Amino acid sequence: MSGQRLAITGVRKIEMEHADPARAAKFYTDVWNLNEVAREDGSVYLRGACAAHHILAIHPSNGPARVREIALSARDKDAVDGLHARAKAGGFAVDAPAPRHTLDGGYGFSLRDPGGRRFSILCNARDHADDAQVRDRPYKVGHVNINTALIDEMISFYTEVFGMRLVDQAGTQYFFNADSPDHCTLVLCKYGMETLNHIAYEMCDLDSVLRGAGRMHDAGYPIEWGPGRHGPGDNAFCYFAGPEECPLEYTAEVLQIDETYEFHGPDHWKWPPGRLDQWGVTPPHTSRWKRVQTLYGFAK
C-alpha cells in the first residue's frame, strides 16, 4: 500500500447489545460523558464531540452484553466498493454495498472477520454540524483492541482486506494505522480467545483523561490500569471496567504519524524492570482487568 492512501479512515461507531440499554446509556451519559442523541425501538444512540451522528449505539438483547458490530469509516464510495471487492474475493462479505437504512444512513456493507466478528464499512453517513474538541468529553472512538487466538489470520485480514498498515508490535500487541494521522485505529492482541480487549474513547488532552478518571472513580468505577503513557502511539491512558465489565479506555495525545513512520518490533518496545509505561508511576493492571479480558464477547 506504500504511496497509496488507505481506504479506511477510522472507527465510526460501536454497536453494542445490552439487556437494559437505558441503564447502560445512563452510565455513558452521566459518567462517561457522551451525549444522547436518539432513542428508537429500545435502542439508545450516543454521540461524542466529533461530528458523527453517534459513536455508540446500545441495542436491547436477551443475551449477554456484547459487541454487535464495529463500524469503520471509509474515505468515499469508491473506497467502499474497493473494500467490498476485496472482502468478497476473500469470502468475508455479508452483503453488497448499498444505502444503509439506519439512523445515520450512509452507504456501505457488512462483513465478518476470520473470528466471525461483524464489521461494517461506511461512507457518507449523517453528521452533525458541530465538530469541536470539548474539554472532558470523549471526541470519538480512537481505537478498538481485539483479543484473538487467530493472530495470523487477523493480521492478514486487517492488512489485505481492510488495507491497513501494521505500524508497530509490542509484546502481544499489533497496531494498525488507517488513512489517518492517528498512530493506530485497530489493535490486535495475541490471546487465547476471541474477546474484546478494550474500546478507547479519545479525549482532547491528558487533563481530560484525568478528569474523566476522577468522575469514573466517584461513580464506583476505579482505574484498572493507569494513568500512564504508552510506548507505541505515545498516548496517555486510563483503563476501566464499565457496565457489564465492558473494557474501556480514556486516551489522549496519540502520536500523529505519516507514511514515513517506521515500524518497530517487540525488541524496541521494552521497559526497564518495574516499568509498564513511559512515566513509571502506574501500578500493574488489576486482577479484575485480567479477568475482564475474558468476558466481553462479540455477537456472531
Residues that bind Fe ion (CB under 5 A): 200, 249
Work out how close the CB of 5 gets to Fe ion at its nearest, in angstroms, rounded to a whole number. Answer: 24
Q: Which of 123, 121, 135, 133 is nearest to 186 (CA)?
A: 121
Work out how close the CB of 173 gets to Fe ion at its nearest, in angstroms, rounded to a whole number. Answer: 9
First-residue to last-residue Cα distance in the chain:
30
In the complex with Fe ion, the residue whose CB is nearer, 110 or 185, is 185
User: Which position's Cβ is nearest Fe ion?
Assistant: 200
Work out how close the CB of 200 gets to Fe ion at its nearest, in angstroms, rounded to a whole number. Answer: 4
Work out how close the CB of 147 gets to Fe ion at its nearest, in angstroms, rounded to a whole number. Answer: 12
In the complex with Fe ion, the residue whose CB is nearer, 49 or 209, is 209
- Supply 56's cell numbers: 455508540
Residue pair 188/232 in contact by the 8 Å Cβ criterion: no
Distance separating alpha carbons of residues 93 and 4, to the nearest angstrom: 23
C-alpha dist (Å) from residue 61 to 16, 44, 77, 178, 196 = 9, 13, 32, 32, 18
In the complex with Fe ion, the residue whose CB is nearer, 179 or 249, is 249
In the complex with Fe ion, the residue whose CB is nearer, 232 or 243, is 232
Order of strands, edge to edge, in the sheet holding 173-177? 165-170, 173-177, 186-190, 140-148, 195-202, 247-252, 236-241, 225-229
Work out how close the CB of 186 gets to Fe ion at its nearest, in angstroms, rounded to a whole number. Answer: 10
In the complex with Fe ion, the residue whose CB is nearer, 9 or 197, is 197
Reduced to 3 states, what is the DSSP secondary structure of residue 248?
strand
Q: Which of 36, 15, 38, 16 is nearest to 25 (CA)?
A: 36
Work out how close the CB of 164 gets to Fe ion at its nearest, in angstroms, rounded to a whole number. Answer: 16
β-strands 247-252, 118-123: how paired? Answer: unpaired
DSSP 93-109: B-S--EE--STT--EEE
In the complex with Fe ion, the residue whose CB is nearer, 194 or 249, is 249
Work out how close the CB of 235 gets to Fe ion at its nearest, in angstroms, rounded to a whole number. Answer: 7
In the complex with Fe ion, the residue whose CB is nearer, 69 or 202, is 202
Q: Please list, residue by residue across 126-147, b when 16 or more beta carbons sit within 10 angstroms of its beta carbon and e when fewer do.
A: eeeeeeeebebbbbbbbbbbbb
Residue pair 103/66 in contact by the 8 Å Cβ criterion: no
In the complex with Fe ion, the residue whose CB is nearer, 154 or 200, is 200
Work out how close the CB of 251 gets to Fe ion at its nearest, in angstroms, rounded to a whole number. Answer: 6
Other residues' Cβ atoms within 10 Å of the Cβ of residue 195? 22
